[in-house]
């Protein structure tokens, strides 16, 4: 549905130090580096789907109240790693990894980046050792 998503930053160097290791936990790499933005893509994709950018109008980046991209994680371990990496690189906790009420296998975490943008990593797969519920 979405072609790409952008999140604003007021400090691109700080954002790079946060997003590089955090996105790597989900198999995403920084594929573009421009003077005012960085772009992340899946290793096998040629198009950046997530951009972290200074606002085009030159004003300060602000947080969207109620805005939150939810990123796909291939495993619960990847959700855990995403959360740990975010906290280790200047992010803050908005909800530890765990099952949520949105579905029987909805395993997610919630963090904020150093600019205050809220992010989620979500795995909807059942662990292979448990199978699906009856």
Mean pLDDT, contiguous 10-residue spans, the chain (134 residues): 93 98 97 97 92 96 94 97 98 98 96 98 81 48
- How many Å apart are CA 25 and CA 125, to the nearest integer? 17
* Residue 60 forms part of a structural domain: no
Per the structure, the count of domains in the chain is 1
Whole-number pLDDT of residue 128: 66
Whole-number pLDDT of residue 99: 97
What's the domain range around 33? 5-55+67-123
**pTM check: above 0.85:** yes
Inter-residue contact 46 to 97 (CB < 8 Å): no
Inter-residue contact 86 to 18 (CB < 8 Å): yes
* Residue 20 forms part of a structural domain: yes
CATH of the domain at 21: 3.10.180.10
């Amino acid at each position: 549905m979405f072609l790409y998503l952008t999140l604003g930053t007021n400090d691109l160097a700080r954002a790079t130090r946060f997003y590089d290791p955090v996105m790597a936990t989900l198999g995403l790499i920084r594929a573009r580096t421009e003077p005012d933005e960085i772009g992340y893509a899946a290793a096998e994709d040629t198009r950046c789907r997530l951009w972290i950018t200074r606002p085009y109008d030159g004003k300060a980046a602000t947080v969207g109240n109620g805005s939150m991209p939810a990123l796909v994680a291939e495993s619960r371990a990847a959700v855990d790693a995403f959360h740990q990496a975010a906290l280790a690189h200047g992010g803050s906790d908005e909800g530890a990894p765990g099952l949520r009420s949105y579905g029987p296998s909805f395993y997610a975490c919630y963090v904020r980046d150093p600019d205050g943008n809220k992010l989620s990593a979500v795995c909807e797969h059942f662990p292979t050792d448990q199978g699906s519920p009856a």
